[in-house]
Structure 1
Amino acid sequence: MARNFEYHPTPGGAARSRRQDHQAPLLPNPEKESSFRSRFLLAVIYLLMVGVIIRLFYWQVLHRTRLQAEAESQYQRTITNIGQRGKILTSDGYLLVTNAPVYRLYAEPHLLKRPAGELSQLLAPLLVDMDPEIATQPALIAQQRQDLQSTILNRLSQPDRRWVALKQKITEQQKKDIEALDIEGLGFEEYYVRAYPEASTAAHVLGFVGKNQAGEDQGYFGIEGALDKELRGQADKQTFNKDALGFHLFFDQLEDQPITDGRDVVLTIRRDIQHTVEESLKNGIERYGAVSGSVVVMEPKTGKILAMAAYPNYEPGYFYKYPSDTHKNPIIADTFEPGSIFKVLTVSGGVDAGVINPDTQCTKCDSARRIGEYTIKTWNDVYNPNITMSDALAKSDNTAMIFVAELLGQEKFIDYIKSFGIGDPTHIELQEDTSTPFRKDWKFIDLATSSFGQGIATTGMQMVKAVGAVANDGKLMRPTIIEKVIDHQKNTEIPVEAVEERQVITPTTAQTVATMMEYAAQHGEAQWIRSKTHSVAGKTGTAQIPVEGHYDPDRTIASFIGFSPVEDPKFVMLVILREPKSSIWAAETAAPLWYNIANKLYLLLNIPADR
């Protein structure tokens, strides 16, 4: 039989038990506490993981490129070598521009055993550039030595630098002198710079090589500027691993891209003709006291430039020593009012349109022409009633040219002038080729003054191109100064073909105008200097220079343009002299210089006499 369990509290126990139940504190629930702690730890871990992920994203995604570059820089090095720039040669094979080896002197400061001060004193005297301009000036040499010493000391006093350049363009002799000092921690890097064996010859054709904003070589002006991409060598990048000291691990080259040299450019210029033209121009400017001058010689049948010269000149290898306005080629970059040489184009249009012929008489040439508020006179204020067109061109009669322009009419006159290429770029392969477009709101006074080359802007190259068409049976040839481009990598030569742009006037018109120009050369103001051995078709031009709204009668641009021989022209040439002092007239300055050069061209080009 089951026994009931009975509980018998001790006396007072019940009361004590109730009192204890009422006063005892509540104990924490172990299960709840464990759950809260777990959630808290999970939250902390989660936040840490999120932080790690964000940090990883920050470094491995946002800054991946920079970190990778920094890491690679610790064990990789990339050397960039540029292929040599292409050479520039004359048509007869003479080098005008090439590349010469020079050296960069550098130091590795952590390898140097001698104090920086001692080294700067040793090196500075050996690094002075003995430029001919300062070779005889001890004060300038001393200043250069002091500047070099200060620069070298400053660069060597940087112990945290592993490599510093001390001097660029070290010559072979300077390199040998420094090597003889046997200084540990110095070194040389060979590279090439542009060299000009002919000094200033054809400077305005060649241009020069300078530095762009990125510090890279870039061609400016002339051929160097226009054909920079053709001449520029391509980069070669060599990437290799290096050890902790920065030395090349030769067995572990990672990348090697081949060097590609630039293309060579062969010009149409002949060295002997270019030298002759430059020397003659310089002498002419000195003889006639001109401020400046220019000459261009072109083959009318091909458009090839045989010579192009301007003075004052400069040396492309030292371009930074000359005023910046000396760098541009005035023959293609400067516009000017051509004056009476422009009358050749006015007459050409009149003959081609059939409104005049050589014997047409001017019925409005008996006095000065009054056009609105303007009075237009002849250059000498002498008037020739009923003058023929041949005599008008020879005597350079302004009123006769207005007569021709009136017969043509404004629209047809402008059409002819534009067809000759006036107002448009000539498209010669030089960087500064420029033009001045025609005004749209022409008035009758503009037609009148333009007929004799005043109030209209052109360039020397445009005039040679235009008159070249008269010498070439009316065919307008595009002027070119490039014979061919040579690509040595592909072993190919790319010739530049002659380009006929259009037929401006008929062959008959061209022959008629050529005869009128020959008559002008024989009977005009420059007849005293005419050739006795060769026929010449030519025209003088004396243009007053506009200043502050009027023309200065004492300042002129004197010019002479012509071609020879007349029946079979071998060259067309323009001579321009700005502000000659001996005489303001072209017949006494530009014309004799033209004939002086022409007489030499007959010999150089083997042109037989035809008179």
Structure 2
Amino acid sequence: MNNERKKILARAYLVAALILLFSVSVFARLIYIQTHDTEKYKNLAQTTNFRNVEVVAARGNLYASDGILLATTITKYDIYIDMKTIRAELYQNNIGALCDSLQKMFNKPSYYFYSKLNEGKKKENQYLKLAKGLDYEQFARIKNFPILNKGKNKGGFIVERRRERIKTISGFGIRTLGFDDERGKSGLEGAFSCYLKGKNGREIQQRINQKQWKPINIELEPQDGNDVYTTIDMRIQDIAYSALQDQLEKSEADHGCAIVMEVSTGKIVALTNLQRTKEGGYDDLRNFAVWEAAEPGSTFKSISMLALLDDGYVGPNTTVDIGPGYWKYYKHTIRDDHGSGIITLSQVLSQSSNVGISKMIDKYFSKNPQDFLNKINSWGIDKKTYIDIPGESVPYIPKYGKKWSPITLAWMSFGYGVKLTPLQILTFYNGVANNGKLMKPQLLYKIEAKGILIEKFTPIVINQKMASQKAINDLKKMLTYAVETGTSKSIYTPNLSMAGKTGTAQVEYWNKGKGRLYQASFCGFFPADQPEYSCIVVINKPKKGFYGSQVAAPVFKEIAGKVYLKKPLNLPKEDKSKESQKINLLITKNRKLTINPSTTLVPNVIGYYGKDAIPALENLGLKVVYSGNGKVIEQSIIGYPIKKGMTVYLKLSA
């Protein structure tokens, strides 16, 4: 019995000794930490409970050349409350008033907020969500509510700001306007991101629980990006967008694009792309104008013709025998849709004769095809235009060598066996219109920072003289003749001289199961005698009509007519004054704004307080989105025809 008792006591003493030894070691470790590793563990606690987070800077605004806002960044405000921070006395004395204020703002019963806040107070919730996605006016209002007006340290008021990029005007879609985010870079946003994006800041956040953090302090203020002005002219952009959309719907085409370029500078003043959606409408889903390289068909004949004219082989009145309208060439047949017999080269272009152009190119270049390639490549036909916008395809021009076929040259002459984008074709035509001076397509106009000019971009010349002046003049006359008497004579009008060439190319001809599919196009310039603008219209896979003269040329005519004939040229001063009165507000003596309810144009509210301007615009049926507080300093649309539900974006002074 005694032995058993001794064994039990021995075990007890052993356990006690082990516990004592463990306790002493823990105590010794604590003493060591306090005296030796204090800073190390302070830093560890700091990094565990706090973090340094990047604050994204607001991107700059994107404008059209005429100052119309295309895209902007607005701030949304998320509101939270640190219930633990609020002292009991402050809470009890003001909770009722706070709930009443929240009820009026959010149209929910006050007991809903009372219950939510009381529950948060009991749990000492340090990050209680109160509201998300507030605009500036709502934020400015809520921060003055009872309790919240005591700020972060006493009232527990926590605000988190989010940036949202928004498109401000119709006529631009996701691909043309573009983006720069996790999807990549696209369109204008992607092209000019280096200017638009600012410098991000940093803020300190404190851990609330395993999943939540709350902002404590801004360590480095973010710097907003610069504003970018593009070369786009919204008046012309709207015209091109509407004309293209109408024709796509009428012809039931798959997709299309239209580009308008200023002849003397290469500035792109309109760029629109539309594709049929699954729902049957049309939207900007892909930048066909810049990306889609395809066999152009007969618009390439102007390139072949300039090669002939510049080398002095031929003139507009040189004749060629196109026989019965077809030509047996090696084991293939080249066919025409128009005319037969002996015709001039002006008629070759105006009638769009495949036989005529291929016979002439074969006659003068078949012995040395490299001469032809050298000539057209000197105009940059084989190179990208290197336009600012990303996604441009590389043109395909065959190289003379082992894989060169005997029929390659002839087929090239009328636009088969080569691939070019609409923009690349337009660049050539624009050079012809510009008396042989080839311009780089330009989309970037200037950069500003808070209204101060940072940089202005000048036009870039690719080729000072594409060809002899005589060859250029002859081709311009031949293209004018083509509109007056040729395949595109249906668009002729004595009110505006136009020059250009139709194009009709069969696409996917290797896929026999789909039947015949076509690409219709028209490229030219106006006015023909003193060109100001060049333009290309391309419509793909139309179901109703397929010739360029039927489908694409009418769009060109509509764009040219509305751009040029309705251009406000040298208006008398009194007319300008009357027009100005239509788009400006009427102001009474007490500075209260009133608008004539019969006005048809969006009024100018810049310089007036948002509290007056916003309801005045809304009374006209406009939807107003704004940021800031105070006077209006920027307005997205001024003087445009009012459409019910149209969105107007305002930027206020603070």
Is the TM value for this pair above 0.5? yes
Indicate the residue corresponding to 1:533 in structure 2. Answer: 495
Indicate the residue corresponding to 2:412 in structure 1. Answer: 450
Indicate the residue corresponding to 2:182 in structure 1. Answer: 211
**CA RMSD in angstroms, aligned pairs only:** 4.2
Indicate the residue corresponding to 1:414 in structure 2. Answer: 373
Question: What is the CA–CA distance in structure 2 between the aligned matches of 1:246 and 1:542, rounded to whole Å?
Answer: 62
Question: What is the CA–CA distance in structure 1 between the aligned matches of 2:454 and 2:512, rounded to whole Å?
Answer: 53
2:358 corresponds to 1:402: yes
- Does structure 2 retain, via aligned residues, the 8 Å contact 1:87–1:264? yes
Instruction: Decide which of 332, 346, 354 is 1:390's aligned counterpart.
Output: 346
Instruction: Decide which of 46, 50, 56 is 1:72's aligned counterpart.
Output: 46
How far is 1:520 from its partner? 0.8
Instruction: Decide which of 200, 210, 221 is 1:235's aligned counterpart.
Output: 200
- Does structure 2 retain, via aligned residues, the 8 Å contact 1:106–1:164? yes
Indicate the residue corresponding to 1:428 in structure 2. Answer: 387
- Using structure 2 for the length normalisation, give the TM-score: 0.66
Indicate the residue corresponding to 2:72 in structure 1. Answer: 98
SS at match of 1:494: strand
Indicate the residue corresponding to 2:652 in structure 1. Answer: none
How far is 1:373 from its partner? 2.8
Q: For each residue in 1:38-85, what CA deviation from the matched residue of structure 2 results, as whole angstroms up to 9, or x when unmatched? A: xxxxxxxxxxxxxx9xxx9xx99xxx9xx8874432575535323210
2:582 corresponds to 1:587: no
Read off the aligned partner of 2:361 and give its amino acid letter.
A
Indicate the residue corresponding to 2:612 in structure 1. Answer: none
Instruction: Decide which of 346, 357, 367 is 2:304's aligned counterpart.
Output: 346
Read off the aligned partner of 2:326 and give its amino acid letter.
A
Question: What is the CA–CA distance in structure 1 between the aligned matches of 2:546 and 2:508, rounded to whole Å?
Answer: 14
Indicate the residue corresponding to 2:12 in structure 1. Answer: none
Instruction: Decide which of 509, 527, 530 is 2:471's aligned counterpart.
Output: 509
How far is 1:512 from its partner? 0.7
- Does structure 2 retain, via aligned residues, the 8 Å contact 1:416–1:504? no
Q: For each residue in 1:511-553, what CA deviation from the matched residue of structure 2 results, as whole angstroms up to 9, or x when unmatched? A: 1100001111111122132021121111111111124356977
- Does structure 1 retain, via aligned residues, the 8 Å contact 2:497–2:526? yes
Cα separation, partners in 2 of 1:75 and 1:596, compared to 1, 3 Å: closer
Cα separation, partners in 2 of 1:427 and 1:274, compared to 1, 3 Å: same
Most deviating of 184-193 and 388-397: 184-193
Instruction: Decide which of 259, 273, 284 is 2:247's aligned counterpart.
Output: 284
Indicate the residue corresponding to 1:437 in structure 2. Answer: 396
- Does structure 1 retain, via aligned residues, the 8 Å contact 2:73–2:163? yes
SS at match of 2:236: helix
Read off the aligned partner of 1:398 and give its amino acid letter.
N
How far is 1:377 from its partner? 1.1
Read off the aligned partner of 1:601 and give its amino acid letter.
V
- Does structure 1 retain, via aligned residues, the 8 Å contact 2:295–2:415? yes
Indicate the residue corresponding to 2:429 in structure 1. Answer: 467
- Does structure 2 retain, via aligned residues, the 8 Å contact 1:204–1:309? no
User: Which entry has the higher C-alpha Rg, 1 or 2?
Assistant: 1
Question: What is the CA–CA distance in structure 2 between the aligned matches of 1:68 and 1:457, rounded to whole Å?
Answer: 67
Q: For each residue in 1:142-172, what CA deviation from the matched residue of structure 2 results, as whole angstroms up to 9, or x when unmatched? A: xxxxxxxxxx9xxx9xx99965989964556
Mark the runs of 5 or more structure 2 residues left unpaired by the alignment. Answer: 1-28, 89-101, 107-115, 149-154, 571-654
Q: How many residues align?
A: 491
Read off the aligned partner of 1:389 and give its amino acid letter.
L
Question: What is the CA–CA distance in structure 2 between the aligned matches of 1:69 and 1:163, rounded to whole Å?
Answer: 24
Question: What is the CA–CA distance in structure 1 between the aligned matches of 2:162 and 2:74, rounded to whole Å?
Answer: 8
Cα separation, partners in 2 of 1:248 and 1:169, compared to 1, 3 Å: closer
Cα separation, partners in 2 of 1:69 and 1:601, compared to 1, 3 Å: farther
How far is 1:240 from its partner? 8.9
- Using structure 1 for the length normalisation, give the TM-score: 0.70
Indicate the residue corresponding to 1:143 in structure 2. Answer: none
Question: What is the CA–CA distance in structure 2 between the aligned matches of 1:68 and 1:343, rounded to whole Å?
Answer: 78
Question: What is the CA–CA distance in structure 2 between the aligned matches of 1:538 and 1:300, rounded to whole Å?
Answer: 14
Matches within 5 A, 1:155-554: 169-171=133-135, 187-201=158-172, 203-211=174-182, 220-239=185-204, 256-312=219-275, 326-363=284-321, 365-378=323-336, 380=337, 384-406=340-362, 407-409=364-366, 410-440=369-399, 441-488=403-450, 491-502=452-463, 503-548=465-510, 554=516
Indicate the residue corresponding to 1:148 in structure 2. Answer: none
SS at match of 1:449: helix
SS at match of 1:309: strand
Read off the aligned partner of 1:103 and give its amino acid letter.
Y
Read off the aligned partner of 2:344 and give its amino acid letter.
T
- Does structure 2 retain, via aligned residues, the 8 Å contact 1:209–1:224? yes
Cα separation, partners in 2 of 1:335 and 1:246, compared to 1, 3 Å: closer
- Does structure 1 retain, via aligned residues, the 8 Å contact 2:253–2:276? no
- Does structure 1 retain, via aligned residues, the 8 Å contact 2:204–2:215? no
Most deviating of 534-543 and 185-194: 185-194
Question: What is the CA–CA distance in structure 1 between the aligned matches of 2:146 and 2:262, rounded to whole Å?
Answer: 58
Q: Alignment identity in percent? A: 26
How far is 1:593 from its partner? 1.8
Question: What is the CA–CA distance in structure 2 between the aligned matches of 1:292 and 1:243, rounded to whole Å?
Answer: 53
- Does structure 2 retain, via aligned residues, the 8 Å contact 1:90–1:96? yes
Cα separation, partners in 2 of 1:69 and 1:432, compared to 1, 3 Å: farther
Q: For each residue in 1:234-269, what CA deviation from the matched residue of structure 2 results, as whole angstroms up to 9, or x when unmatched? A: 11124599999999888xxxx843432111110111
Indicate the residue corresponding to 2:62 in structure 1. Answer: 88
Read off the aligned partner of 2:349 and give its amino acid letter.
L
SS at match of 1:190: strand
- Does structure 2 retain, via aligned residues, the 8 Å contact 1:194–1:209? no
Cα separation, partners in 2 of 1:91 and 1:446, compared to 1, 3 Å: same
Q: For each residue in 1:301-360, what CA deviation from the matched residue of structure 2 results, as whole angstroms up to 9, or x when unmatched? A: 10001111111399xxxxxx9999954311001112111111111101110111221111
Most deviating of 412-421 and 549-558: 549-558
- Does structure 1 retain, via aligned residues, the 8 Å contact 2:276–2:282? no
Mark the runs of 5 or more structure 1 residues left unpaired by the alignment. Answer: 1-51, 114-122, 128-151, 213-218, 315-320
- Does structure 2 retain, via aligned residues, the 8 Å contact 1:337–1:454? yes
Question: What is the CA–CA distance in structure 2 between the aligned matches of 1:551 and 1:372, rounded to whole Å?
Answer: 28
Question: What is the CA–CA distance in structure 2 between the aligned matches of 1:458 and 1:69, rounded to whole Å?
Answer: 62
Read off the aligned partner of 1:437 and give its amino acid letter.
Y
SS at match of 2:189: helix
Cα separation, partners in 2 of 1:448 and 1:160, compared to 1, 3 Å: farther
SS at match of 1:345: helix
- Does structure 2 retain, via aligned residues, the 8 Å contact 1:202–1:274? no
Question: What is the CA–CA distance in structure 2 between the aligned matches of 1:375 and 1:454, rounded to whole Å?
Answer: 14
Read off the aligned partner of 1:477 and give its amino acid letter.
M
Question: What is the CA–CA distance in structure 2 between the aligned matches of 1:405 and 1:553, rounded to whole Å?
Answer: 31
Question: What is the CA–CA distance in structure 1 between the aligned matches of 2:172 and 2:262, rounded to whole Å?
Answer: 20
Cα separation, partners in 2 of 1:376 and 1:72, compared to 1, 3 Å: same
Cα separation, partners in 2 of 1:174 and 1:493, compared to 1, 3 Å: closer
- Does structure 1 retain, via aligned residues, the 8 Å contact 2:274–2:282? no
